Amino acid sequence: MEKYWLIFNPSNEILLKNGSEIPLSLLPPIAPQEDNHTFELPDIEGIKSFCFGVSGNTQAPEGFEFIGLRESHLKLPLSIHYKAGKASELVNFDFTYRFCPRCGTKSYYSSPISKKCPKCQKEIWPPINPAIIVLIYRGKDEILLSHALNFKGNFYGLTAGFLETGESIEECIVREIKEETNLKVKNIRYFGSQPWPYPSQEMLGFFAEYDSGEIKIQEEELSDCRWFRRGFLPEIPPKISMARMLIDYWCTHREEF
């Protein structure tokens, strides 16, 4: 019986057939290597699915190519892309946590998605890194957009950052906005969350109202940051992103702001 095979290299690139299809075959187009674990995934369209990683020097067979997971959302149906994201996080876990982080002993799988050290008994699971992303609005018709130095393109996005230890989500939002823009906000409200496996992140989306301050950008991270009026927005992130979901909601729900 044919199976779907989601195969990744250490650069978080996924193997696609003809550049646009998850391999579907009885056996994988690349054989799993001895040290790499094969995970069983939830079925895709009623078909059994598996994933595993290959070494960085593995070449794609004829008719296949490795494509960055993030770029693959343009090639794959969204439902399959999200499942590929889960697969990539499991493979990344397998690549990264070969040995116990406490005592250095080689760890073994104790469940389908966890490893246990046979020496000190420490058990570990795939890590998830929570990150916040915030749409800051001023009045009914302005939002703050910025261009980060690490953006691959000319689009403008939202303020975002990672949660730090000993910090609440709300504290993280206030800190990140202050660090990146020098602004203060109020009326923070939750919008939604999204797995963001590039790699192993969980995006938490929020709205926040401008309170006070003048823009002063964090030059180590941003090249530009300014207010844009409704109907006159610059190029914005693609629809797959939480940033775009927040912006689209603001555009279509003026009465809530």
pLDDT digits (tens, 9 = 90+) for 36-56: 999 999 999 999 999 999 998
Instruction: Kindly list the distances between the CA atom of residue 132 and the CA atoms of 8, 109, 193, 211, 227, in Å, as whole numbers in the listed order.
Output: 27, 31, 9, 19, 20
Which CATH number describes the domain made up of 129-256?
3.90.79.10
Q: Which two tokens stand for residue 119?
A: 């020496």
Domain ranges within the chain, ordered by starting residue: 3-96, 129-256
pLDDT digits (tens, 9 = 90+) for 207-255: 999 999 999 999 999 999 999 999 999 999 999 999 999 999 999 999 9
pLDDT digits (tens, 9 = 90+) for 90-122: 999 999 999 999 999 999 999 999 999 999 999
> Beta strand pairing status for 159-162 and 129-138?
antiparallel
pLDDT band at 33 (very low <50, low <70, confident <90, very high): confident
pLDDT band at 144 (very low <50, low <70, confident <90, very high): very high
The predicted pLDDT at position 94 comes to 95
DSSP string, 161-226: EEPPTT--HHHHHHHHHHHHH--EEEEEEEEEEEEETTTTEEEEEEEEEEEE------TTTEEEEE
DSSP code, position 61: P
Q: What is the mean pLDDT of residues 84-89?
A: 96
pLDDT digits (tens, 9 = 90+) for 155-178: 999 999 999 999 999 999 999 999
Count of all residues that appear for the chain in the document = 257
CA nearest 201: which of 62, 95, 98, 70? Answer: 70
Q: What is the mean pLDDT of residues 68-90?
A: 93
- List, in order, residues 6 or more apart from 97 with CB less than 8 Å away: 107, 115, 124
Q: Break the chain down into helix, strand, coil percent, rounded to 5.
A: 20, 40, 40
